[in-house]
Amino acid sequence: MAELVFFSGTMDCGKSTLALQLDHNHAVRGRDGIVFTRDDRAGQNVLSSRLGLARQAVEVTDGTDFWATVVDARTHGRRVDYLVCDEAQFYTPAQVEQLARLVDDMGVDVFAFGITTDFRSQLFPGSRRLIELADRVKVLQVEALCWCGARATHNARTVDGVMVVEGEQVVVGDVGDRSGVVSYETLCRRHHMRRMSAATARAATVSPDVLPFA
């Protein structure tokens, strides 16, 4: 039977790589699928991995209707056995409900990939609805690491290396230490709650005004 599966984890844990691999595995077995993404770091209409892999994809907007897209494709003779939906945290709750309906009423497998919480440790609306509706939620086993070496469980937004906790929920950026632009890094809960990014930790080791613990 068809399923709605939500593959989730922090940034930098290989979600997009797995999405590309899963699409490849199904395609070589003769299944026909459509790949969707939204706000990918590489630009519009592309699903990319930090390992350098990429493929063309359908760009999702707030106006995208997954149900209508699949109905239109099947009406024109395309089979559409499965959907790969990357960056699914950015989808609207209504779009997630469309995906669930495609599974239940049309037998389309849906494989959604996304991070669960934003830089404030709050659930994305799309991720929340996926957790509520998915047949299975799978936490990816490739562990991202905090700067301290512990398993990273939280996504942090930084500006000039300083962690910020205010601002728009969606600001496109990437994992990295790039001065003057919005970047993201993954932290353990301890250092996320202390707002201690890698840059802040480095500064603390050379500042006499900072207490000597992390």
Q: What is the pLDDT of residue 161?
A: 84
Average pLDDT score over residue span 64-73: 98
Top-confidence residue, 65 or 170:
65
Top-confidence residue, 12 or 132:
132
Q: What is the pLDDT of residue 184?
A: 87
Considering the domain 4-139, what is its CATH architecture? 3-Layer(aba) Sandwich (3.40)
Triad 168, 151, 196: Cα angle to 5°: 50
Q: What is the pLDDT of residue 81?
A: 98
Q: What is the pLDDT of residue 78?
A: 96
* 152 and 159 Cβ atoms separated by less than 8 Å: no
Top-confidence residue, 129 or 176:
129
Percent of the chain with pLDDT over 90: 54
Q: Please tell me the distance from the alpha carbon of residue 191 to that of residue 134, in angstroms, as a whole number.
A: 30
Say whether pLDDT at 213 is over 50: no
Give the Cβ contact number of residue 165 at 10 Å. Answer: 11
CB within 8 A of 15, min separation 6: which ones? 7, 8, 9, 86, 113, 114, 115, 140
Q: Is 46 helix (H, G, I), strand (E, B) or coil?
A: strand
Q: What is the pLDDT of residue 176?
A: 55
Return residue ranges of the chain for CATH 3.40.50.300.
4-139
Kindly state the helix (H) or strand (E) to which residue 6 belongs, with its residue range.
strand 4-8
Say whether pLDDT at 6 is over 90: yes
- Mean per-residue pLDDT of the chain: 87
What residues act catalytically? 87
Say whether pLDDT at 4 is over 60: yes
21-25, 33-37, 162-166: least confident range: 162-166
pTM: 0.78
Q: Does the CA dihedral 160-39-120-153 come out positive or negative?
A: negative
Say whether pLDDT at 43 is over 90: no
